[in-house]
Amino acid sequence: MNFRINNLNDNLIREISENFHLRQETAAILVSRGITKDEDIEYFLNPGKHHFGNPFKLKGMREAVERIKIAKEDDEVVVIYGDYDADGICATAIMTLALREYGISAIPFIPERAGGYGLSVANIDDIMEKHLPSLIITVDCGISNFEEVEYLKDLAVDVIVTDHHELPERLPDTLTVNCKIPSEYGFDSLCGAGVAFKIACALIGERAYKYLDYAAIATIADSMPLIKENRDIVYEGVKLIKTGRCCPAVKELIAISNVREVTSTSLAYVIAPRINAAGRMGDAFSALKLMISDDNGLIERLCLKLNEYNQARQAESEALYKSAREKLVSTAYDKKIIILEDDGWNAGLVGIIASKLVEEFSRPVILFVNNNGKLHGSARSVESINIFDAITSCKEYLTDFGGHSQAAGISLNIENFLPFKKALESYIDKNFSYDCFTPVKCADLLITSRFTLDLAKEINRLEPFGTANRKPVFAVTARNLKASPIKIGSPHLNIKSDYIEMLYFNGAESKSMLDLPFEKTVLFEPNVSVFNHEESLKGYVKDIEYTISSTVGTKLCGFRESLLTALNDNDDFLYVSDDLTKTVIEETLKDHFGTVYVAYNIDNLASYANLSGLNRYLYSTSGKNLVNNVVIALNNSPFSGYKKIVYLDRPLGNVNYNPNITETFINRTKRAFDYTELDVTKETFAEVFRRLCKYNRAPFGNTIDFVRNCDVGYDKFQTVFVLEVFIELGIFTFIRGEFRYNSNVKSSLSASKIYTEVQKLQD
């Protein structure tokens, strides 16, 4: 199974529970996150501004403040040079507003994404022509711009670089404040706006706390770890927004986005994307104008504009995703790192799509856009691979790059694309095994008793949730679950277990699996909601894992699906012998990705020992990253990206046609089941028909659900066979969770493809 439950120290959990008056489940979550020392637990459970560090302990802070003080005294022209993403925009807003309050009429500048990340000579020339500053302060950029800083110095412009990105080998030769530079401060994971906030604190003291809403949004948007001071910043920022004391721009964004409850999660998924959308759609300055404005009319208009940008971004992102995914599965499905390029993609959206592809395929992804012979790329990575280090290993091919362990921006000349791609693929191949690309879902605890509302409320004390402090996930295991649509026709399911009631959004397609009689583990997040001043608890389903083993239930599933293949007209596959099937398996296993192995009868897997290490799924593949896997009882659920499919045993009829599969092999030697043992006499069908009629309008959703609950006096496999023939003929149906008899249908058994195929085998 692809999930794990943390193995924890029970004695330590009990000790923490007693000392801090916590439930053992809450104590276990702290232990699972490495928070075990008393002082760390005390800190974690009581976040806030009282933990804020002294900004002057950041290296370079005193010198930077002194230079800013001189600029104030001499009435210098000061330009704030930011970045086009949510972190950069918030950082620019904080620095601009703080300097203005300090007494400097700072001029903010945000480059547009098309011009690339960080300082550029073209933007510097534009700034010099318009403003002729004597001091430029960068925020959320600049640490990788040695040459551009030298260019500014040649123009007699002083530069203060404030940044948080990874340090290059050669730092700019100027005043620099970057939390990554070792110092007494002791925390190196601030975002760009976090660094700007610390400078604001150094300049105007606690008056800078009014900008904590900006710093909180930026910290979340830039996926900074919510530990230590980041946790304090987000906690205080969320509190500021909840109490309505936030800046007018954030207040209006909350209102226009219809955010019902302000949390780190709602800021991440609702507010941050709207700020980011402006830069992604080529108008980052509109987002900045919004953030620094106090004109209510302008704020409302700009919020509406950002909302429109976000809607346009969503539509364009979907088209770009489809294009990139198609290119991935056709040209890069078998690579450990996905590196793609396209002239037509929107440079502002490739980062979003790269993140989506990483989540789907569990591999690092870099997407490039061609801009007049120069490629600009966005890289995203899986947790186990530091993409910044990987890119650094190939820096000789790049004109510019910067970023973090999980995300980076890259620029290179188009003639270096293929050498860079080859070098980076080689680096990943040599340094990372396939285990690094296996998605593993982690649950904090396995629930074995009733999950209470009080426990859920106590867990909320661990807010804010986000990177490095994800919302706790629990697991509940059961053979029998009651799953039903929340209302007729709804795609959402309500699931009842012995310990908690859960909601599965868009889970309707999984209902047939949930109804089956084998062990299931449901991973969920507890959620407390309030309606009419009453609190209620439901678990939100995140994922479901099924234990696929050689049981009657699993074999019945395979038997039923093998019967249904009689309904397929497809004959576009290759029949091979048992020996050749094994040869094909050996060849396809040489590649880690791209092949699905199908068995209708799970017992037949015993003949293929070399497949024993692969993940097994029922009905359809859930292998997210196109990794080779085994499917028991393949049904008609669509899947794409795989190149080959090998049927290990032969079903009753023809296998399902899949237009995305390049090659299909089917073992002609090994029958999935012995169909000759089935009784095809009309007398048996007539008797089963009479017994089935008494279940008319019974609450069963499918054939397997029926046979596991009803004994009509015949073998279960025989019952499935007869029932599927009647369903094919329309005599019985399953409609909206009910088993029904249709008295208007009169048909001969010979009209059934399932019946005639079994009869042919017996003849």
At 430-465, the pLDDT tens digits run 999 998 888 777 888 899 999 999 999 999 999 999
In this structure, the answer to whether residues 637 and 661 fall within a common structural domain is yes
Among 673, 691, 714, identify where a domain stops.
673
Backbone angles phi, psi at 525, to 5 degrees: -105, 130
In this structure, the answer to whether residues 396 and 534 fall within a common structural domain is no
Over residues 303-326, mean pLDDT? 93
The reply to whether omega before 182 is within 30° of 0 (cis) is no
Question: Residue 605: inside a domain, yes or no?
Answer: yes
In this structure, the answer to whether residues 448 and 413 fall within a common structural domain is no
In this structure, the answer to whether residues 240 and 199 fall within a common structural domain is yes
Cβ neighbours of 509 (radius 10 Å): 12
Over residues 600-607, mean pLDDT? 96
Among 546, 572, 594, identify where a domain stops.
546
Domain that holds residue 504: 3-34+442-546
Q: CA-CA distances (angstroms) from residue 39 to 19, 43, 200, 453?
A: 12, 6, 29, 28
More confident residue, 657 or 343: 343
Among 643, 673, 703, identify where a domain stops.
673
Tokens of 760: 């042919």
- State residue 623's pLDDT score: 63
Question: Residue 322: inside a domain, yes or no?
Answer: no
- State residue 641's pLDDT score: 84
Question: Residue 43: inside a domain, yes or no?
Answer: no
- State residue 662's pLDDT score: 81
**What mean pLDDT, rounded, does the chain reach?**
92
The confidence band for 406, taking pLDDT boundaries of 50, 70 and 90, is confident
- pLDDT tens by residue, 726-757: 999 999 998 877 899 998 988 999 999 999 99
Over residues 531-556, mean pLDDT? 87
Question: Which CATH number characterizes residue 424's domain?
Answer: 3.10.310.30
Question: Residue 274: inside a domain, yes or no?
Answer: yes
In this structure, the answer to whether residues 421 and 507 fall within a common structural domain is no
In this structure, the answer to whether residues 382 and 395 fall within a common structural domain is yes
Question: Residue 317: inside a domain, yes or no?
Answer: no
Question: Which CATH number characterizes residue 456's domain?
Answer: 2.40.50.460
In this structure, the answer to whether residues 283 and 170 fall within a common structural domain is yes
Question: Which CATH number characterizes residue 613's domain?
Answer: 3.40.50
Q: What is 190-243 written as a DSSP string? A: --HHHHHHHHHHHHHGGGGGGGHHHHHHHHHHTT---SHHHHHHHHHHHHHHHT
DSSP alpha helices (H): ranges in 432-525? Answer: 453-459, 511-514
Residue 5: pLDDT over 90: no
Residue 1: pLDDT over 50: no
The confidence band for 701, taking pLDDT boundaries of 50, 70 and 90, is confident
In this structure, the answer to whether residues 702 and 727 fall within a common structural domain is yes
Query: How many Å apart are CA 181 and CA 143, to the nearest integer?
Result: 11
Query: How many Å apart are CA 593 and CA 601, to the nearest integer?
Result: 24
Residue 191: pLDDT over 80: yes
In this structure, the answer to whether residues 200 and 117 fall within a common structural domain is yes
In this structure, the answer to whether residues 681 and 667 fall within a common structural domain is no
pTM of this structure: 0.82
Residue 512: pLDDT over 80: no
- State residue 143's pLDDT score: 94
Closest CA to 267 of 288, 242, 248: 242
Question: Residue 731: inside a domain, yes or no?
Answer: yes
In this structure, the answer to whether residues 76 and 208 fall within a common structural domain is yes
Over residues 626-644, mean pLDDT? 87
Question: Residue 428: inside a domain, yes or no?
Answer: yes
In this structure, the answer to whether residues 448 and 433 fall within a common structural domain is no
Residue 551: pLDDT over 80: yes
The total number of structural domains in the chain stands at: 5
More confident residue, 525 or 371: 525
Question: Which CATH number characterizes residue 80's domain?
Answer: 3.90.1640.30
Over residues 568-591, mean pLDDT? 89
Contact (Cβ atoms closer than 8 angstroms) between residue 515 and residue 483: yes
Question: Residue 318: inside a domain, yes or no?
Answer: no
